[in-house]
Amino acid sequence: AALVPLTILFLVMVAPLVGESRETVLAAFTNPLRAVITILFIVVSFKHLADGLHEVIVDYVHGQPMLTALLVGTKLGSYFVGAVGAFAVVVIAFIGITTG
């Protein structure tokens, strides 16, 4: 349920930045509200991805070793990519690293 309002807020706050210059986008993410909404969107989206993949894997994979490996791999992969995305926003917004 949290993903619906977060998606709407994310689109309202980030969609206008598509096509803007790098400096404009970096400056926009210094706004704490925009940064927090983006971080929440990333974290909740990748949690949702991990849960969805879990259900698909449990439904369609039947060998126990493969099932365990896929479940662990998809959870770790989803959480890792989500954490990297959230960390990137934190670095831009709160630490202020803007050099390329």
Supply the pTM of this predicted model.
0.87
Q: Which of 5, 1, 24 is nearest to 98 (CA)?
A: 24
Contacts of residue 86, defined as CB under 8 A and 6 or more positions apart, other chains included, come to 39, 42, 43
> Could you report the per-residue pLDDT of 35-66, keeping only the tens digit for each?
999 999 999 999 999 999 999 999 999 999 99
CA distance 80 to 82: 5
Q: What is the pLDDT of residue 100?
A: 56
> Could you report the per-residue pLDDT of 1-44, keeping only the tens digit for each?
889 999 999 999 999 999 999 889 888 998 999 999 999 999 99
Split at pLDDT 50, 70, 90, the class of 88 is very high
